[in-house]
């Protein structure tokens, strides 16, 4: 994360520390989970349309993913791989997860645009994937869940411009 964003985030949490989301810490995180204020500050740095996303709706949409995916740093793989750090990671690149050949050989790194196509219809985007998920037809729901993933999975603007 670049310095100016860090400073912005730090300032943000000082002025609005009473808005901390109070969520219980996940098991043994290696760094503290971002506060609600830090998430809002990060959201504002995202390129359009993601800066307009509704994170609460993103959380609700992610309920469709939770049976198969964890988000927290060091979280377990389930039916699908843990998604912490997914932005900027090569598709199929988590070393301790057994991907299908379709995902392993996809040949790109995950960004918002690839995720948008993937989540619209995983089976047509990467034929042969073992992610059995019908897809999210609504573009706003995809926008919101992608922004939600950005703020929850350790994405930093400096690392992935």
Binding site for ligand HEC (CB under 6 A): 64-65, 67-69, 79-81, 83, 86, 91-94, 99-100, 102-103, 110, 119, 129-133, 136, 145
- Residue 15 or 134: which CB sits closer to ligand HEC? 134
**From CA 77, how far away is CA 39, in angstroms rounded?**
24
CB 8 to ligand HEC: min, Å: 27
- For residue 60, the tally of other CB atoms under 10 A from its CB is 14
- Residue 46 or 145: which CB sits closer to ligand HEC? 145
Residue whose structure tokens are 């703020």 = 151
Task: Give burial (CB, 10 Å; 0-12/13-18/19+) of 144.
Answer: buried
Asked if 103 and 83 count as a contact pair (C-beta separation under 8 A), the reply is no
Q: How far apart are the first and last CA of the chain?
A: 10
CB 100 to ligand HEC: min, Å: 3
CB 68 to ligand HEC: min, Å: 3
CB 90 to ligand HEC: min, Å: 7
Residue whose structure tokens are 């995180």 = 29
**From CA 154, how far away is CA 87, in angstroms rounded?**
8
- Residue 35 or 129: which CB sits closer to ligand HEC? 129
CB 10 to ligand HEC: min, Å: 29
- Residue 59 or 64: which CB sits closer to ligand HEC? 64
């Amino acid at each position: 994360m670049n310095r100016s964003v860090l400073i912005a985030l730090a300032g943000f949490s000082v002025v609005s520390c009473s808005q901390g989301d109070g969520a219980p810490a996940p098991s043994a995180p290696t760094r503290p989970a971002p506060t609600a204020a830090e998430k809002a500050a990060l959201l504002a740095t995202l390129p359009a349309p993601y800066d307009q996303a509704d994170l609460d709706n993103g959380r609700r949409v992610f309920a469709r993913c939770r049976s198969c995916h964890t988000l927290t740093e060091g979280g377990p793989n389930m039916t699908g791989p843990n998604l912490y750090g997914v932005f900027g990671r090569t598709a199929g690149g988590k070393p301790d997860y057994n991907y299908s050949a379709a995902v392993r050989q996809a040949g790109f790194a995950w960004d918002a645009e690839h995720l948008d196509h993937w989540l619209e219809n995983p089976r047509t985007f990467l034929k042969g994937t073992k992610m059995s998920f019908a897809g999210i037809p609504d573009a706003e729901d995809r926008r919101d869940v992608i922004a939600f993933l950005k703020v929850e999975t350790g994405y930093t603007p400096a690392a992935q411009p």
